[in-house]
Structure 1
């Protein structure tokens, strides 16, 4: 195009200029920030490429460059000669080059500035991002830290470089001497530094805990006091890196928040990992936990979430402390309670009997309550409720959850909870050496609610699948579930349509199969599961007498009318 520019009509030139300046369209999945930066870079490269080739534009290229560089400050004019006009040719992953040899012979005071100067993309390697300081942090960490510490003497704390140093995975392999040196410097830096880099420091502390504990606890304690003091005085410094959209995702937030990482650091302490049931937790360790739990607002909840993820284990070691420090959160229906349940259900463990007794009132309230917390944790909650109903208290015959309590829970719960409970029941019956088959008969015969509100298509599908999974007990389960099922008007059900084994249920128990299908299939054949016609034919072949059965006649009539 550059060769024909001068010969083009003025209108054509202006049209091309408008297209160049308007840039490309936003790609699917590309964020607004990415689009602005990338489109500005492409436009800059193209107009400067053409300008170098002698194209004379009607617009002020210097002014346009100044405006577009606001969207992409990293763009360099030397990229223009290699600019390509085919977007497809330039769409690929950007690799990272961490070669740091050029920093090896630079005076320590020049390392950071020179690293910044040679970082980024070069015109001859556009799809390679240079990050020499990261390479220095990996191969010569002492030199990298020394450069940062020297800059700190001038009150310069470059954000990207400090974050790079702390986040480098090889920090976990640093020597004890180097780690202690870093802690000493961190304790000497001003509070503004600790506040700005708190998340980086706590993440680093979690990496190096194996180097520090238990032999260097005093050094850890001094840094700990500093970090907790900052969190107490400036709670916003403990904010998570996760963007909150609606209700908090406490587990995700805690894993990405300074206090959550401090709680993980405590749980990684080898001293408590040696503890056994009933021994009690170390007083110093509990004091640190109490400090985190006394922090304001979300910081406290991040600690609560991480600690409650380990609730069953902690309770087995120190029942008294857990009862006083953690369990009061469930007495309320607020964010503290939500954070508690987020950690507890994340752990996904059935509590020991003594802990379950303390949790039971709150667990039952949660199951009865139509809340976002219950819906969010339905999968694990249903499993814990079913397992607790199937257990008996030590020394007597009473169940952890009585029959009438489970019936009431199932009435108040939603379809998600009821279907999930039946899913657990089906899978536990199939487990080797399981006695849940007998327990399931009692659940269906004595406990499952008969209220109309519970008889929904989704629950009916779960009950039908439970029955189809029972092999030789299939007819018995069919009789038990029939009073609770209704026609399934959506594609909820997974039937054993394509099974042709020697123990195939349809061929062995055609009448029971017909009874269940007659109860759950609607008058609309389009709502039937795929392949059901073949199944109906197999019923007639397995027992020809059923060909005159009113139920099979009805289903065949519906099939024929489609």
Structure 2
């Protein structure tokens, strides 16, 4: 946890032990330096300057490097003090030390840091617990300091006999008065040797301290003499519990970790000294009253977490990792903001970005909105494969209790009343109390199962909450129903198990019950699409749509394309069960507000055009119809009884099935069918989803009907439908007559005889319908996607074909809306462009005379114009584009930019001069419209309504921007004969490219990015222009360097010629890239390029030398180095003999040897590389093993070592001895949590190579496993 954004990340366990009064601070010179005290170097200089030894003396020879270059100093300062003692006498030297440390301090607030540490280190009694190697008495400043107990050697507290550590313990001596006869300080190497080694009194004291307390080192560096002697005396080399000894140190985390790790110390890095003391001040406030501090953090949780900084969310997360914090959180009033569940759930906050649809679509980054300050950055798929994840607060943690009641083989607890760790129990209470927020519903849908106790709590909360919104109650009921069905959280093999039972047992009563269970419809809910895929809804319940929360779908008897054989004697029972389940499914579909639901036609072989798309829930209808056909043939009366009960009001299944059943001649008498059809209400009668079944029924049985019933039916049809809500009063008569004419004319065309007056009535109606065609009638029953319930597009241009040109646009605008009764969007102008492009263009030209340039129609004209139009029409079209007003060009900029990108080559082949005129006119229009017109179609990333600052100077923005598209079109237009080496880009293309470089705002960036993405090819074709105009942009100080590099890094690695030229820049590229705010981390790409140059072009002018590659590695961040290791694995796998030829030499010769590069994160990367090495595992391990460090992790990096992947034996079974050595290196001496993979690896080693069970390495590891 961090107290401040730039402060050190302090482990939770250390903070909690501090709250419990179990932490002792061991303080060095760095604590006193801010108060004006000298550090060890300055103190040594003071003494030496006083004695002024000869310049050629041993003392000066030893000390001079400390003044010039401390990194070159090789004589420790304690040894220099030993020389001073020998030369000038210990008493005199130490007296001088007393004099220097007793000098008045000029710093105004000296002792401030000491006061903070006293507060942080206090016991539960409020008394500081401090050990210091400093001599000064700054811890004694202040009223409370004067009364503190002071311990000085040899009178240290005897911790073995229960003495307290409260007060100040001066480990190396306490500053005495200047007039004292003796000055007993531990200063020289001889003093240190006695204290820590020969006599060991300091070592013994610290050892006993570590057995009882957690010790925090502050004010030291890893190389300081006190640390060196202390850890040498303790033999503290990493074989101890590292959670007992911590050290704050200044520097980069990976460097600090490496320096302290081999000393058995957990390092806490901070970037600057003020950041450390700023955090210490906040920690002191917490230590003064942990409960009050905890309450203040919980108060923050009432804010939207998106409005807090990552470290502030991290503070709340820290509190929620404790029982006390979770309890406070769950009981807080007002209740915490519901979106804190997104912070707690690592799967939510680590999800990928999502975006809305359309131009300028909003992008949501859950990591930016909900991430914690110590979360991992962009996790690669390889990371996820190895189980790398961020901390999830909603799962059991090592610090949680583990109630035994739930872990039993018999006597299971009642569902929903299971015991659960206290912390999770409190979080369950909060989550369940937050059901009035749609956010919690969205979160619950994302879970693959919910704990039974949480489900029960949800139910109870719904029962208690009278104020819960009706819609919320309805949706929560559906969510709970989904989670209570075990089929939604496991692989559903029920169908296959049922088929096996039928084959083995037949259709017994037990099998029929099983069939009823398996065929019961279930509701499947998946995460939603679009922006809400990773962003929870932010609207109240009354505005919530199901699609805001998830994809709700009814799944019904998934047969996996297999048939179901039902014998005749079991047909009634099976049919009855399916009938019941259709009723259940219909209820579910209604509950999830299904609007567009397509059931298969009951006539699959009749008047069908194309293949129909059927949802999972509807597939069973085909089986049901087949079984009904058999029922009607064998048990006509029983079929009649069933069909009679089917409600025609059910829009999903039974309305269609009932009309189909009426077609059975032996089951239903014709006039009875007519009466039933006539009794249908208007909505049912005119339901477009059952039009096939209705009209086929009437057409098939028309001859059987009495004249009276025929007349009644045709009168009902010719009267037409009622006015629908979205039909205006003006359009209703026309709509009504069109539907009536379609139905009636279809029957007439099928030889269904109408009386003369009714036939005349129909003919008169058709004459009043503009553009009527009998195809309208026949198409009414044709099974097409746009007629059967999913939203389609009707591009039929019939309504426009015969209109005068000057009326086309106004009529097309009227039709530019959806026909809701047929789920179809009318796009007649698009159809006109395809069918009669000349008329479409003429209509737009006429409208243009009135300054009317409808964007939608011009977009259709541009994008849908057929490729095979006559040359003359094409010329007219191009000239029309070339004369569009600039304002219209700007409005159509994305459409025209995309059209140029895709069609400029063809246009130039048609007419070169005209093509360039069109191109230049489009660019003129875009450039003249200003900065906004050049903007990319990619939207902003938002968090809490605020824009997250991400660079827009990228290739992704360029390919979605009009200027970027225009630039890309230019490179498509380079003639084929000009694409050979040195053939040069034509001047007229280069001049246009360079003009785009002058576009305003981000337009120029897009042109640059597109151009540099082709830099390798441009260097090949036109090296002179490339070196003169483009390569200079790669210089980091160039104003276009950011878009230039982003585009370049989207291409392939630089060619040898190009690499040789830009190599000086490449060597410094990675640190520069890592400072930029791009969406993707291109430092990884840059690292791979440099690796490619080293691996495949070693020591060539276009490649890298060993020293250059090593410098590149050192300049990378730890994360980039680790991703490079993954790339190395790809080199090993994808190249012949790649491990031995490329990977192993690079590791052996180039990888930096400094310990700071051996981090826990690099450990995971090396393991990821090793588990893909196959037969080369032993050889690669031999190269890698020196870089491996012991690490304890929640991840499972060794899963490939125990599992068969793609029929290959596990690595452990192939190389047991090498794997054992790896596990021994990778496993710490002390484990603080049960290991996950280690027991499996050891078991496989014992099985594969039993002799290794007596190996000391195996014995150490198995002992750790058995003790855990």
- TM category (shorter chain) comes to 0.7 to 0.9
In the alignment, which residue of structure 1 is the partner of 2:1215? 509
In the alignment, which residue of structure 1 is the partner of 2:791? 94
In the alignment, which residue of structure 2 is the partner of 1:155? 851
Q: Pick from 960, 982, 991: which aligns with 1:256?
A: 960
The answer to whether residue 1042 in structure 2 is matched with residue 322 in structure 1 is no
The answer to whether residue 1168 in structure 2 is matched with residue 465 in structure 1 is yes
CA RMSD of aligned residues (A): 3.4
Q: Distance in 2 between matches of 1:152 and 1:143?
A: 14
The answer to whether residue 1223 in structure 2 is matched with residue 489 in structure 1 is no
In the alignment, which residue of structure 2 is the partner of 1:141? 837
Tell me if structure 1 keeps the 8 A contact 2:900–2:919. Answer: no
Task: Identify if the C-alpha distance between structure 1 residues 436 and 545 changes in structure 2 by more than 3 Å, giving closer, same or farther.
Answer: closer
Task: Identify if the C-alpha distance between structure 1 residues 416 and 123 changes in structure 2 by more than 3 Å, giving closer, same or farther.
Answer: same
Q: Distance in 1 between matches of 2:1055 and 2:820?
A: 64
Tell me if structure 2 keeps the 8 A contact 1:278–1:319. Answer: yes
Residue-by-residue CA offset, 1:401-448 (whole Å, 9 max, x unaligned) = 222222222223123322222222212222252445233222222211
Q: Size of the alignment, in residue pairs? A: 489
Q: Distance in 2 between matches of 1:200 and 1:115?
A: 20
Tell me if structure 1 keeps the 8 A contact 2:1033–2:1039. Answer: no
In the alignment, which residue of structure 2 is the partner of 1:439? 1142
Q: Which of 503-512 and 416-425 deviates more?
A: 503-512
**SS of the residue aligned with 1:406?**
helix
Q: Distance in 2 between matches of 1:243 and 1:206?
A: 21
Residue-by-residue CA offset, 1:20-78 (whole Å, 9 max, x unaligned) = xx9943136549xxxxxxxxxx9xxxxxxxxx99xxxxxxxxxxxxxxxxxxxx95557
Tell me if structure 2 keeps the 8 A contact 1:378–1:416. Answer: no
Task: Identify if the C-alpha distance between structure 1 residues 106 and 503 changes in structure 2 by more than 3 Å, giving closer, same or farther.
Answer: closer
Tell me if structure 1 keeps the 8 A contact 2:1009–2:1046. Answer: yes
The answer to whether residue 1059 in structure 2 is matched with residue 356 in structure 1 is yes
Runs of 5+ consecutive residues of structure 1 not aligned to the other structure: 1-14, 17-21, 32-41, 43-51, 54-73, 81-90
The aligned runs of 1:310-349 (5 Å cut-off) are 310-332=1014-1036, 336-347=1040-1051, 349=1052
The answer to whether residue 819 in structure 2 is matched with residue 116 in structure 1 is no
Q: Distance in 2 between matches of 1:239 and 1:550?
A: 66
Task: Identify if the C-alpha distance between structure 1 residues 327 and 76 changes in structure 2 by more than 3 Å, giving closer, same or farther.
Answer: farther
Task: Identify if the C-alpha distance between structure 1 residues 334 and 155 changes in structure 2 by more than 3 Å, giving closer, same or farther.
Answer: same
In the alignment, which residue of structure 2 is the partner of 1:478? 1181
In the alignment, which residue of structure 1 is the partner of 2:436? none
Q: Distance in 2 between matches of 1:233 and 1:198?
A: 12
In the alignment, which residue of structure 2 is the partner of 1:300? 1004
Q: Distance in 1 between matches of 2:1195 and 2:1166?
A: 14
Q: Pick from 864, 874, 885: which aligns with 1:179?
A: 874
**SS of the residue aligned with 1:476?**
helix
Q: Pick from 926, 929, 935: which aligns with 1:234?
A: 929
Give the number of the structure whose alpha-carbon radius of gyration is greater.
2
In the alignment, which residue of structure 1 is the partner of 2:1246? 540
Q: Distance in 1 between matches of 2:974 and 2:1193?
A: 56
The aligned runs of 1:384-395 (5 Å cut-off) are 384-392=1089-1097
In the alignment, which residue of structure 1 is the partner of 2:989? 285
Residue-by-residue CA offset, 1:314-360 (whole Å, 9 max, x unaligned) = 1101111111222222213577222112221222x121112012222
Cα offset, 1:134, TM superposition: 1.7
Task: Identify if the C-alpha distance between structure 1 residues 452 and 26 changes in structure 2 by more than 3 Å, giving closer, same or farther.
Answer: farther
In the alignment, which residue of structure 2 is the partner of 1:4? none
Q: Distance in 2 between matches of 1:217 and 1:242?
A: 32
Q: Distance in 1 between matches of 2:547 and 2:1097?
A: 53
Task: Identify if the C-alpha distance between structure 1 residues 388 and 124 changes in structure 2 by more than 3 Å, giving closer, same or farther.
Answer: same
Task: Identify if the C-alpha distance between structure 1 residues 310 and 176 changes in structure 2 by more than 3 Å, giving closer, same or farther.
Answer: farther
In the alignment, which residue of structure 1 is the partner of 2:530? none
Tell me if structure 1 keeps the 8 A contact 2:1094–2:1109. Answer: yes
Task: Identify if the C-alpha distance between structure 1 residues 116 and 405 changes in structure 2 by more than 3 Å, giving closer, same or farther.
Answer: same
Q: Which of 302-311 and 464-473 deviates more?
A: 464-473
Tell me if structure 1 keeps the 8 A contact 2:1060–2:1101. Answer: no
**SS of the residue aligned with 2:1200?**
coil
Cα offset, 1:235, TM superposition: 2.9
In the alignment, which residue of structure 2 is the partner of 1:549? 1255
In the alignment, which residue of structure 1 is the partner of 2:1086? 381
Q: Distance in 1 between matches of 2:1090 and 2:1043?
A: 20
Tell me if structure 2 keeps the 8 A contact 1:390–1:399. Answer: no
Q: Distance in 2 between matches of 1:479 and 1:361?
A: 33
In the alignment, which residue of structure 2 is the partner of 1:419? 1122
In the alignment, which residue of structure 1 is the partner of 2:544? 26
In the alignment, which residue of structure 2 is the partner of 1:518? 1224
**SS of the residue aligned with 2:975?**
helix
Tell me if structure 1 keeps the 8 A contact 2:978–2:984. Answer: no
The answer to whether residue 878 in structure 2 is matched with residue 204 in structure 1 is no
Task: Identify if the C-alpha distance between structure 1 residues 294 and 542 changes in structure 2 by more than 3 Å, giving closer, same or farther.
Answer: same
Task: Identify if the C-alpha distance between structure 1 residues 368 and 386 changes in structure 2 by more than 3 Å, giving closer, same or farther.
Answer: same
Cα offset, 1:366, TM superposition: 2.0
Task: Identify if the C-alpha distance between structure 1 residues 313 and 172 changes in structure 2 by more than 3 Å, giving closer, same or farther.
Answer: farther
Task: Identify if the C-alpha distance between structure 1 residues 529 and 321 changes in structure 2 by more than 3 Å, giving closer, same or farther.
Answer: farther
Q: Which of 463-472 and 448-457 deviates more?
A: 463-472
Task: Identify if the C-alpha distance between structure 1 residues 527 and 341 changes in structure 2 by more than 3 Å, giving closer, same or farther.
Answer: farther
Tell me if structure 2 keeps the 8 A contact 1:491–1:527. Answer: no
Q: Distance in 2 between matches of 1:385 and 1:254?
A: 25
Cα offset, 1:102, TM superposition: 1.1
Q: Which has the higher contact order (CA 8 A, sep 6+)?
A: 2
In the alignment, which residue of structure 1 is the partner of 2:918? 223
Tell me if structure 2 keeps the 8 A contact 1:214–1:270. Answer: no
Q: Distance in 2 between matches of 1:158 and 1:399?
A: 55
The answer to whether residue 1203 in structure 2 is matched with residue 498 in structure 1 is yes
Q: Distance in 2 between matches of 1:242 and 1:412?
A: 33
**SS of the residue aligned with 1:103?**
helix
Residue-by-residue CA offset, 1:67-99 (whole Å, 9 max, x unaligned) = xxxxxxx9555799xxxxxxxxxx974222111
Normalised TM-score (structure 2):
0.36
Q: Which of 145-154 and 265-274 deviates more?
A: 265-274
Task: Identify if the C-alpha distance between structure 1 residues 407 and 354 changes in structure 2 by more than 3 Å, giving closer, same or farther.
Answer: same
Tell me if structure 2 keeps the 8 A contact 1:383–1:424. Answer: yes
Q: Distance in 2 between matches of 1:292 and 1:453?
A: 47
Task: Identify if the C-alpha distance between structure 1 residues 320 and 29 changes in structure 2 by more than 3 Å, giving closer, same or farther.
Answer: farther
Cα offset, 1:137, TM superposition: 2.0
Structure ranking higher in helix proportion = 1
Tell me if structure 2 keeps the 8 A contact 1:176–1:211. Answer: no
Cα offset, 1:262, TM superposition: 1.1
Residue-by-residue CA offset, 1:156-204 (whole Å, 9 max, x unaligned) = 1112222232233x55554443332122123333332223223322322
Q: Distance in 2 between matches of 1:418 and 1:248?
A: 26
Tell me if structure 1 keeps the 8 A contact 2:1220–2:1245. Answer: yes
